[in-house]
Amino acid sequence: MNLATVSEKVGAIDDALRYTHEYEQLDLTAPEKARADEAIHRLEGAKKELDAQRAAQAAQQQQQQQQKQPPPPPPPPGETRHGRIDVFTIGAATIAVAGFAVGTVFGVKALSDKPPASGFVAGTGPGASGSYASLQTSADHSHSEARVADIAFIVGGVATIGAAVLYFVRTRDSKPTKSSDPATTDPNAQPTDAPDGSKDDTKTTSKKQPAVHDAWIAPTVGGVILGGSF
């Protein structure tokens, strides 16, 4: 019991409880038994209080350590992926292919219809190549075809640049986000109850995102036509 008393004075509550329990197992008188029970009750209360203080100190130390630690770095931004393919990109690419195809066809045709630079003999007799009017007509026709070929190649080149810009400059995820508020997107929303129990007759409006219903692109001799309903 003396060991238990000394241990309690130095703050070794666990040792004091152990010594007191060992003392209680001896052949004690009634007063000694009551003294041991009182000491155990006091030591158990002190142990609970000490455990609570230790838990509070541990929590405080952990909080201080967390405050000293630097905040975690922000997450890296999402990767931006370029290369968007939609009706405009496909339309521009189609115009480019059509422009180069038309330019090639008319260019070959202009070369085949071009009259020879020398050796043309005007007249209708033997060895004659034809009349001067037919020579002039062939030259004018070849010149017109060459002009159409030049315009087609220009349109094809511009469309190629436009398709490249539409594909590489825009991102793949550049789409309008849909509103998640059912009060603004549900056209069949019912009137809600007001706080006083009456019906709220305020009509809910439906906010619609602008959309492209259909679109078309057509090449012309002098440019490009873009149309559709939006």
Phi and psi, residue 110, nearest 5°: -65, -40
pLDDT of residue 153: 92
Phi and psi, residue 203, nearest 5°: -80, 135
pLDDT of residue 49: 87
pLDDT of residue 120: 58
pLDDT of residue 182: 44
Cα separation, 22 vs 16, in Å, equals 10
Model pLDDT for residues 189-219, shown as the tens digit of each residue = 555 554 455 554 544 444 555 454 555 555 5
pLDDT of residue 155: 93
What is the three-class DSSP state of 154?
helix
pLDDT of residue 78: 67
pLDDT of residue 169: 84
Pick the closest to residue 159 from 94, 104, 216, 109 (CA basis).
94
**CA distances (Å), origin 59, targets 11, 13, 52, 127, 218:** 21, 22, 11, 114, 73
**CA distances (Å), origin 218, targets 74, 156, 224:** 48, 12, 6
**CA distances (Å), origin 172, targets 30, 76, 79, 80, 94:** 89, 19, 11, 8, 20
pLDDT of residue 86: 87
CB-based burial, 19-29: b 16+ in 10 Å, e otherwise: bbeebbeeeee
Blockwise average pLDDT, block size 10, the chain, 230 residues: 87 87 87 87 87 89 82 73 84 92 90 70 55 72 88 92 87 55 49 51 49 55 56
pTM score, whole prediction: 0.41
